[in-house]
Structure 1
Amino acid sequence: MEKLLLYLQVHQLSEQGFKVAKIARKLGISRNTVYKINVSGISVALYRPEIHWLE
């Protein structure tokens, strides 16, 4: 659940216009992790639970 929360926080901050470095500092993670989360495409599944991407 903690990982899911991290994904949500990164996407929310990104949508609010925060830069990658600022998101990384705010959440205590690396910039590379922020880039990976933003590029992963996981946001579609998080915001649209009817899409069953894990099946």
Structure 2
Amino acid sequence: MDNRSIDKFDLRLRKQFIENESLSVKEIDTYIESLEDQSDNIEEIIIEEKKESAE
């Protein structure tokens, strides 16, 4: 697999990268601080549970 296509900040791989010392906690913190706040772009979705009818 070509490792250049893997995002080193992928949450699914982060623990492995930290353990292998391919990524430091400081790098993660710097990356998180660089992200833009997207909270104004959220859309609330309300999911209602349907009651099951007793048969």
**TM-score relative to the length of structure 2:** 0.31
**TM-score relative to the length of structure 1:** 0.31
Q: Which structure carries more helix by proportion?
A: 1
